[in-house]
Amino acid sequence: MSEAPILRVDQLSRHFPVRNMFGWTTGAVRALDDVSFEVRPGETLGIVGESGCGKSTLGKTLVGIHRPRGGRIVFEGKDITGQSASERGAAAPKLQYCYQDPGNSLDPRWTVRRSLTEPLIVHTALEPRDRNARIREILQQVGLPPTHLDLYPHELSGGQQRRVGLARILTLHPRLVVLDEPTSGLDVSVQAAVLKLLRRLQHAFSLTYLFMSHDLSVVRMMCDRVAVMYLGRIVEIASTEALFGAAKHPYTQSLLSAIPDIGGRRVTDTFALEGEPPDPSQPPSGCRFRTRCPRAAAVCAKIDPALQPIAPGQSAACLFV
Amino acid sequence: MSSIHGFAVQAPGDNLLEVENLRVSFATEHGVAKVLDGVNLTIRPGEIMGLVGESGCGKTTLANAILGILANNARREAGSIRFAGEDLLTMPRWQAESEIRGRSITFIPQDPFGSFNPLFPIRTQTMEVMKWKSPRRAARDGRGIAGFFSRYPRARRSADAAAVLQMLRTVQISKPEEAFGKLPHEFSGGQRQRLMIALALLPQPELIIADEPTTALDATIQAQILKLLKRLAKERGVSVLFTTHDLGTAYEICDRITVLYAGQEVETAPVDDFFQRPHHPYTVRLLESLPHPGRELREIGGEIPALVDPPAGCRFHPRCFRATEECLSDRPAVTPLGGGHQVRCYHPITGASRL
C-alpha cells in the first residue's frame, strides 16, 4: 500500500453563493471546506455523511462538474484543479462519476444502446464496429443480456438501470470511479446483487472506487478506508476496522450508534444524539459539530479543530481525542 | 361494496384489527394485477406491527385498503377488514369517513416534504384536523343550519388549540407558538416528520398506519424519529401498523413482524423470534442479503414476478431453493409453529435443515 496515490486532494473548497431577492450575493454555503485526503490505487474509499454534508459536491468537484474555490486536485500525478472535463483531455475518461439515480440520469428517449455509445463517440476514435463490440462485452460484464440494448430506461427495473449506469462508465475503461449512493432506493436483495457486481467489476477492471453512501453497513462491507463528513468537512478518516472498531470523533460515534444492529441492542433504547445539522450557510463558530456534541466545551466555540493523526492511518478533527 | 365475503363472523376477540383473506386487484392496461392475494393480518391493542417486504409486494395497497383510500381501478375480490369488530369494507361510507378514517385510524406518510400544503401555516393545517377529527367534537357539530354558520364552536376551538400546542411540545418541536405561524418549508425533514406524528396523534386514534415514515430521513434523524414514535405509541397505548422495506428499522420498533412477498403474507412472528429463527425460505434469503460484517453477501436469484400473471401456488416458488411439485399448484396454509410464529410454507426451514 505504499504506492503513489492515484488521487490527492489538498484543501479543496467549494462554496455556493447565497443571493437575496435582488440577486446580490449575501453569503455562502460552504459545501466543501478544506477537504484533504488521498486515494491509493485499487482501494475503495468510503465517504459517509448525512444529506447536505457535501458528499455529492465533493464527487462533482473531483470530476470537473463544479469548479473548486480553492485547493488542489492531483489525479495520477497531474494537477487537474479547475479543469472541466473537456479541458482534461486524456485524463477525463479515466475519472468517472456514476450518478445516484440512473433512472433520472439516463435519457428517457434514448435506447440503452445509444446511451452506451455516446461516451465512446465523445472520448474515443473507435470505429462503429469496435464500439459495438466493446458495448456488448461491457454489457455482459454487468450482467445484462444483449437484448436489453434496444430497451428504453423506463422498461428496466431499478437494479438494471444501475447496471446500465455502470456499463456507461466502464466502456471508457476508467481508473477511478466516483459512486454516488450506488444502492440508495434499492431493495435489499437487489442491493446485494449490485454490491457483488461492484466488487466483481473492481477486480475485473482494476478499479479504484470513491464510494459515497449514507448507509454505514454497506460502507463497512465494501470499503478499505472510510472518511466521515459533517457540514463540508472531513471529521474523521480511518481504515474500516479502526473506524467501526474504535471511532474517535463524537460525530462518528453517534453515526455508528444510529445503525440498527439486528439481534443486538436496540438503537431506540440507546440513541442519545439530539438536534439536527445546522444551516450550512451559517455554520457555528469553532467546531461545526459543537451544537450537537455531547462533549462540547466552551473552547469548542473558539477553536476550529483541524484533522490530526491520532493513530497510524487514523485522523480525527476534535479537540478531545 | 359487494358481499362476497362468505366467512362466518367471529367474535372480535382481542385483536384491534383483523384482515382476513383479503384479495385486491387493479385493472391496468396490461391486464388485471392481483396485488393482494389472500392476505391475513392481525394487530392487537397497543402493539407495533411491522409489515415488511420489498417494493411492489403490496405493503402500501394493504395500508390503503385499511384506510379505505384505494385507487378507483382497485377491486376487492374477497376478504374482510374488521376494526374493533366492525367490517370496514361493508360499513356505510359516511360512517367510515366520519368515525374511522382520520379519527380512529390515522396515517403517517412516507414523504414529509410532499404531505403538507405548502401554502398554509402549520396552525391552519393542525387546526383543520382538530376541527373535523378532534375527540372533543360532538356529533352535531357542523350539521344543519347552525352548523353552516358556525361549524367550529369557539369554546372547542380554544381547547383544541391548546391541545395542539401541547402535542407540538410532546413531539419536541422547539418554540411551538412560533412554529404555529410557520410554513412547512421552514421546517427540516425531521421536524416535518415530527409534525406528521403530531397530526396523527391529535385525534387520539386507536391505530396509526405509518407508511415507511423514516425512509426519507438521515440515519441520526431516523433514530430520533423511531425513538419518538415508539415512546409515544407505548405511552398512549396506540397500535401502529409500520410498513417498511428496511429490516433494521423493523427490528428497532416492532413487536411483531409480518413479511409480504408479491401480495401473499409468508411469515408472521414476534420480533426476536423472527430474526433468530426465520422459517420461510424467502425470509431466510432476505435476512442473508443484508450486509453484515464477516459474512458474504447473498442475493436472491431471479426477480419479483409480474402481478398481472403471477405464479400459481406459492408465489415465491420460482425463486425458492426448496420448491417441490406441491408448491406449484396450491398455496400453503397457515402453519402455526408455537409462540405466535406462523409460516405459510410446505417446507419451512427448521432446526436441522437450517443452512
Per DSSP, chain A holds a count of helices (H) and strands (E) of: 10, 12
Q: Do A273 and B290 touch (CB under 8 A)?
A: no
Average pLDDT over residues B226-242: 95
Query: Between A88 and B261, where is the model more confident?
Result: B261
Q: Do the beta carbons of residue A260 and residue B249 sit within 8 Å?
A: yes
Tell me which residue of A223, A228, A215 sits closest to A198, measured CA to CA: A223
Q: CA–CA distance from A61 to each of A35, A84, B46, B137, B176 (Å)?
A: 11, 9, 50, 57, 40
Report how far residue B134's alpha carbon sits from residue B158's, in angstroms, rounded to the nearest whole number. Answer: 12
When pLDDT is cut at 50, 70 and 90, the band that residue B353 belongs to is very low
Q: Nearest by CB to A268, which of B230, B289, B299?
A: B230
pLDDT value of residue A310: 92
When pLDDT is cut at 50, 70 and 90, the band that residue B5 belongs to is very low
Average pLDDT over residues B1-28: 67
B304 bridge partner residues: none
Q: Do A268 and B227 touch (CB under 8 A)?
A: yes
pLDDT value of residue B306: 87
Q: Nearest by CB to B252, which of A215, A218, A267?
A: A267
Give the distance from residue A49's alpha carbon to the nearest chain B alpha carbon, in angstroms: 9
Q: Do B289 and A191 touch (CB under 8 A)?
A: yes
Pick among A267, A271, A289 to test the B interface (most B CBs inside 10 A): A267
> Identity (one letter) of the amino acid at B281?
P
Nearest CA in chain A to B274: A263
pLDDT exceeds 60 at position B207: yes
pLDDT value of residue A208: 95
The interaxial angle of helices A250-257 and B219-236, nearest 10 deg, is: 50
Note the pLDDT tens digit of each residue in B269-284: 999 999 999 999 999 9
Give the distance from residue A187's alpha carbon to the nearest chain B alpha carbon, in angstroms: 6
Is B253 an 8 Å CB contact of chain A? yes
Q: Which residues contact A111 (CB under 8 A, 6 or more apart)?
A: A149, A150, A151, A152
Q: CA–CA distance from A112 to each of A46, A82, A125, A164, A191 (Å)?
A: 29, 32, 20, 7, 21
Is B235 an 8 Å CB contact of chain A? no
Task: Name the range with the highest mean pLDDT among A144-153, B213-222, B299-308.
Answer: A144-153
Count of all residues that appear for chain B in the document: 355
Q: Do A263 and B299 touch (CB under 8 A)?
A: no
Report how far residue A93's alpha carbon sits from residue A73's, in angstroms, rounded to the nearest whole number. Answer: 16
Instruction: Average pLDDT across each block of 10 residues of chain A; the chain has 321 residues. List them in order.
Output: 82 90 86 92 93 89 90 91 82 88 86 92 90 92 90 89 90 93 85 91 93 91 95 94 93 91 85 84 89 91 92 92 81
When pLDDT is cut at 50, 70 and 90, the band that residue B264 belongs to is very high
pLDDT value of residue B13: 56
Give me A223's grid cell.
Answer: 470499503
Give the distance from residue A76's alpha carbon to the nearest chain B alpha carbon, in angstroms: 32
Note the pLDDT tens digit of each residue in B116-132: 999 999 999 999 888 88
The interaxial angle of helices A188-204 and A158-170, nearest 10 deg, is: 10
Q: Which residues contact B229 (CB under 8 A, 6 or more apart)?
A: B108, B197, B210, B213, B240, B253
Tell me which residue of A24, A8, A175, A181 sits closest to A104, measured CA to CA: A181
DSSP state of A257: H
Pick among B30, B187, B297 to test the A interface (most A CBs inside 10 A): B297
For residue A244, how many other CB atoms are within 10 A of its CB?
18
Q: Nearest by CB to A260, which of B245, B249, B298?
A: B249
Average pLDDT over residues B241-251: 93
Chain B residue numbers with beta carbons less than 8 Å from the beta carbon of A50 are 218-221
Report how far residue A140's alpha carbon sits from residue A134's, in angstroms, rounded to the nearest whole number. Answer: 10
Q: Do A50 and B220 touch (CB under 8 A)?
A: yes
Q: Which residues of chain A approach chain B closer than 8 Å at the C-beta?
A: 50-51, 157, 187-193, 195-196, 214-218, 220-221, 244, 254-255, 257-263, 266-268, 271, 273-274, 276
pLDDT value of residue B144: 65
For residue A170, how many other CB atoms are within 10 A of its CB?
24
Chain B residue numbers with beta carbons less than 8 Å from the beta carbon of A271 are 220, 223-224, 227
Report how far residue B257's alpha carbon sits from residue B275's, in angstroms, rounded to the nearest whole number. Answer: 10
Q: What is the ipTM of this complex?
A: 0.84
Give me B138's grid cell.
Answer: 360532538
pLDDT value of residue B126: 93
pLDDT value of residue B33: 92
- SS3 breakdown of chain B: % helix, strand, coil, rounded to 5? 35, 20, 45
Chain A to chain B Cβ contacts (< 8 Å): 103
Chain B residue numbers with beta carbons less than 8 Å from the beta carbon of A193 are 299
Pick among A188, A211, A229 to test the B interface (most B CBs inside 10 A): A188
Chain A residue numbers with beta carbons less than 8 Å from the beta carbon of B291 are 191-192, 195, 217-218, 220-221
Nearest CA in chain A to B55: A187
Q: Do A193 and B224 touch (CB under 8 A)?
A: no
Q: Do the beta carbons of residue B203 and residue B135 sit within 8 Å?
A: yes
Per residue in B95-114, is it b (16+ CB within 10 Å) or e — as a string? ebebebbbbbbbbbbbebee
Q: Do A220 and B293 touch (CB under 8 A)?
A: yes
Q: Do A260 and B252 touch (CB under 8 A)?
A: yes
- SS3 breakdown of chain A: % helix, strand, coil, rounded to 5? 35, 25, 40
Proportion of chain B above pLDDT 90, given as a percent: 56
Give the distance from residue A122's alpha carbon to the nearest chain B alpha carbon, in angstroms: 35
pLDDT value of residue B142: 61
pLDDT value of residue B131: 85
Note the pLDDT tens digit of each residue in B64-75: 999 988 888 998
Q: Nearest by CB to B220, which of A195, A196, A255?
A: A255
Proportion of chain B above pLDDT 70, given as a percent: 91
Q: Do A268 and B303 touch (CB under 8 A)?
A: no
pLDDT exceeds 70 at position B7: no
For residue B286, how many other CB atoms are within 10 A of its CB?
25
